[in-house]
Chain A
């Protein structure tokens, strides 16, 4: 006699609503559909709005003349240039401020971070006060503070002159600078100078290796610097002899005219100066904390061993602690570099024509949607470059020290 097994005992498979894979796939399909639908809906709305209100769209404006002055520019710019070129000028402005800012902030941050860990009580406390204050006050407030300090300085005609060379006034700081006599000789000598530095560095490295291998004193630093200096001077003389005049001449700022406008030398304008001071002091306080955490992450034994080997405190820090701390320091340092770059968008507050500032002005005469896409691409490109540089460095020190 064949009996049916009771229904409850037959295995009927996992019910659909509890089947993990089915649920996961359903969730994915639903979320993808919702996301795509949302984006399509938004774009359809924008499209409708554009048609209804007859707003210009697309990227054809890029070849039009921008016809608006840009206050600060490091590459030649005139109002008759195109939107595309004006945008490039704005991007270079942001890049310049972020590169200078990152270098200065890193140096100041390392200095303060090390001071924070100093065995000297008063130095450590001073560093702590600096960090606690500058880290906890919005950058905008700091920038406005420096901006009005700068504004309160006397105008160029009555400005301060330090040593007859350095002019400080509410237009900025003017200092003696080198001015090129001609493009070709200046370029040739600059290239040769770079080559000299590279050669010096190579000699330094070779001699250091020899010193380590043989134990013979080889004076790598002295030899490297001497070689670089020698090549630089000789090439200067050669270039001067070939063209009849020196590739660079010293130029000092000179007051001109009724308002004492300064010509010659190099003027760091108020906008750039204030933005740099604000960004550097703010970011340095964050970098100082990163450096402190990095140094503290190095085991005590390492420092004790270095001291036991007879290394001085400075050498312990330079040769033992810091190289190991770098591995911890670099990743958050990269993100601080990105933050500094993004924070430079506050340039508008202090009158510096950075990327965001120019782009916001552009929205008055160009389609906002296109401008927004351009801004995103530009910032993304700058951020990716920073990440790439940082990660390359991280990879190099990571592989060489392990």
Chain B
């Protein structure tokens, strides 16, 4: 008699209802113990109250007229006022440089096909175009301004198409074009004497978000190479070079930026001959860059120190000369390891551009501050103003940390 001894397991039961789905999730993440339950209830109550009163304030109690009143000055400062360029309209100059930037972003997206580049390009172009539909009256915000803003979308598309369907644009050329766009922007904003329509505009009148962005871009691009140089100098075996770098780094790290900015205004006219450029914008750019470079140097030095000495030794053993060992082996690995710290420094630099108020420059923050001081009827609505400014800053800084996260993930930091 044959007995079938083969074992057929029963169909496994599904997990109990209390362990899966929304209930299971809540049990695991909100009510895993009695104190967690209490915490959840308290935290939920607090967040509901904050949200309720916060939203009520934002949509009902808050009076945002102060933000509406300042409007374009947030973006351009005093740039397009009668005092800045008498007798002509200067609004188109920053707008043309914005067009160039969006076109450039379009090219970057087109050549790399990178989803991150796509997001950034579409976001910048979209926001710029959306600004055209701000509900101002036509006298305050003319049709020409709106059309130039709308033109950002075709510019973006043109840049993308140029990169996608021709072989003119490579990644290296995008970088070169980026430098060119920055120079053109400066020339456009500053103006050229003698050229009709390009009347010089004193840098005193530059302001708003434009000023913060200009200082940040210049500072970021220059402080990284200077910081790398300082870090290498500090680790150098040559005592003189080392001492010079250490003194530079420690002096700039030891004193608050606002003190350095103020002192640059006082001391530079004394220490440099009169023909040395002494415009506040230039000084602010130099001081912020050097200050940031000192911090950058320490970040990169950290990365270099964390590197296993075997890397450099292997490179030397393969016959690479010293400078190639540094440039091709040590630095790339060191920088890859400290990307979060470097981006953190970039974000700090962007936030620090708000400190130019000490040398009377009208950046995004100072515009608001001066406006409130000059128009005391808005004193009670300073809150709205600074919340708006905070949100603008937050969008940029949060965007930067998002990009850093993505880069880090793409490079596989921490996985090797």
- Among B254, B270, B389, the residue within 8 A (CB) of A46 is B270
Q: Is A35's CB under 8 angstroms from B30's CB?
A: no
Q: Is B256's CB under 8 angstroms from A356's CB?
A: yes
Q: Give bound CA distance, A137 to B396, whole Å.
A: 10
Q: Is B255's CB under 8 angstroms from A121's CB?
A: no
- Among A119, A141, A379, the residue within 8 A (CB) of B36 is A119
Q: Which of A29, A136, A360 has the most B CB atoms < 10 Å from its CB?
A: A136
List, in ascending order, chain B residues with CB within 8 A of A59's CB.
none
Q: Is A152's CB under 8 angstroms from B40's CB?
A: no
Q: Give bound CA distance, A123 to B244, whole Å.
A: 48
Chain B interface size band reads: 35 or more
Q: Give bound CA distance, A15 to B238, whole Å.
A: 21
B34 within 8 Å of A by Cβ?
Answer: no
Q: Closest chain B residue to A375 by CB distance?
A: B259
List, in ascending order, chain A residues with CB within 8 A of B269's CB.
49
Expressed in whole angstroms, the minimum distance between the Cβ of B138 and any Cβ of chain A is 32
Q: Is A360's CB under 8 angstroms from B40's CB?
A: no
Q: Closest chain A residue to B32 by CB distance?
A: A119
Which B382-402 residues have C-beta < 8 A from chain A? 382-383, 386-387, 389-390, 393-394, 397-398, 401
A238 within 8 Å of B by Cβ?
Answer: no
Expressed in whole angstroms, the minimum distance between the Cβ of B267 and any Cβ of chain A is 6
A138-B393, A375-B255, A379-B255 given as contacts; is B386 within 8 A of A42 (CB)? no
Which B1-50 residues have C-beta < 8 A from chain A? 29-30, 32-33, 36, 39-40, 43-44, 46-47
A4 within 8 Å of B by Cβ?
Answer: no
B347 within 8 Å of A by Cβ?
Answer: yes
- Among A29, A136, A145, the residue within 8 A (CB) of B383 is A145
Q: Is B47's CB under 8 angstroms from A136's CB?
A: no
A-side interface residues, number (CB < 8 Å) = 54
Q: Is B383's CB under 8 angstroms from A28's CB?
A: no
List, in ascending order, chain B residues with CB within 8 A of A363's CB.
266
Q: Is B393's CB under 8 angstroms from A136's CB?
A: yes
B357 within 8 Å of A by Cβ?
Answer: yes
List, in ascending order, chain A residues with CB within 8 A of B273's CB.
45
B365 within 8 Å of A by Cβ?
Answer: yes
Q: Is A133's CB under 8 angstroms from B47's CB?
A: no
The stretch from A80-88, A193-201, A340-348 touching chain B is A340-348
A107 within 8 Å of B by Cβ?
Answer: no
Q: Is B357's CB under 8 angstroms from A140's CB?
A: yes
B186 within 8 Å of A by Cβ?
Answer: no
List, in ascending order, chain A residues with CB within 8 A of B270's CB.
45-46, 49-50, 55, 368-369
A122-B43, A122-B47, A144-B365 given as contacts; is B394 within 8 A of A136 (CB)? yes
List, in ascending order, chain B residues with CB within 8 A of A24's CB.
237-238
Expressed in whole angstroms, the minimum distance between the Cβ of A277 and any Cβ of chain B is 14
Q: Give bound CA distance, A380 to B256, whole Å.
A: 11
Q: Closest chain B residue to A357 by CB distance?
A: B258
Expressed in whole angstroms, the minimum distance between the Cβ of A122 and any Cβ of chain B is 5
The stretch from B105-113, B309-317, B324-332, B348-356 touching chain A is B348-356
Which A357-382 residues have C-beta < 8 A from chain B? 359-360, 363, 368-369, 372, 375-376, 379-380
Q: Give bound CA distance, A42 to B244, whole Å.
A: 16
Expressed in whole angstroms, the minimum distance between the Cβ of B221 and any Cβ of chain A is 21
Q: Closest chain B residue to A152 by CB distance?
A: B380
Expressed in whole angstroms, the minimum distance between the Cβ of B137 and any Cβ of chain A is 29
- Among B40, B259, B365, the residue within 8 A (CB) of A140 is B365
Q: Closest chain B residue to A372 by CB distance?
A: B263
Q: Closest chain B residue to A383 by CB distance?
A: B254
Q: Is B30's CB under 8 angstroms from A121's CB?
A: yes
Q: Is B30's CB under 8 angstroms from A141's CB?
A: no
B372 within 8 Å of A by Cβ?
Answer: yes
- Among B29, B47, B239, B365, the residue within 8 A (CB) of A28 is B239
Q: Is A42's CB under 8 angstroms from B254's CB?
A: no
Q: Is B241's CB under 8 angstroms from A27's CB?
A: yes
B146 within 8 Å of A by Cβ?
Answer: no
Q: Is A141's CB under 8 angstroms from B29's CB?
A: no
**Contact code string B228-267 (vs A, CB < 8 Å = 1, else 0):** 0000000001111100100000010011111100110011
Q: Closest chain A residue to B372 by CB distance?
A: A148
Expressed in whole angstroms, the minimum distance between the Cβ of B321 and any Cβ of chain A is 10
List, in ascending order, chain A residues with CB within 8 A of B386's CB.
141, 144-145, 148
Q: Is A123's CB under 8 angstroms from B267's CB?
A: no
Which A279-320 residues have C-beta < 8 A from chain B? 313
Q: Which of B32, B237, B380, B394 has the most A CB atoms < 10 Å from its CB?
A: B394
Q: Closest chain B residue to A20 by CB distance?
A: B322
B379 within 8 Å of A by Cβ?
Answer: yes
A132-B398, A136-B397, A137-B393 given as contacts; is B244 within 8 A of A31 (CB)? yes
List, in ascending order, chain B residues with CB within 8 A of A139's CB.
351
Expressed in whole angstroms, the minimum distance between the Cβ of B25 and any Cβ of chain A is 8
B369 within 8 Å of A by Cβ?
Answer: yes
A268 within 8 Å of B by Cβ?
Answer: no
Q: Give bound CA distance, A122 to B39, whole Å.
A: 9
Q: Give bound CA distance, A43 to B272, whole Å.
A: 9
Q: Give bound CA distance, A235 to B233, whole Å.
A: 60
B176 within 8 Å of A by Cβ?
Answer: no
Q: Is A140's CB under 8 angstroms from B256's CB?
A: no
Q: Is A368's CB under 8 angstroms from B267's CB?
A: yes
A187 within 8 Å of B by Cβ?
Answer: no
User: Please, could you name 18 A-B residue pairs with CB atoms under 8 Å apart, sorted by A?
Assistant: A45-B272, A49-B271, A120-B29, A120-B40, A120-B43, A122-B47, A136-B393, A137-B393, A137-B394, A140-B354, A140-B365, A141-B354, A141-B389, A144-B368, A152-B380, A346-B355, A372-B259, A375-B259
> Assuming A49-B270, A140-B365, what are 12 further A-B pairs, CB within 8 angstroms?
A27-B241, A31-B241, A55-B270, A119-B32, A120-B36, A141-B390, A144-B369, A145-B382, A148-B383, A151-B382, A368-B263, A383-B254
**3 residue pairs, one from A and one from B, having the closest CB atoms:** A148-B382, A345-B256, A121-B29
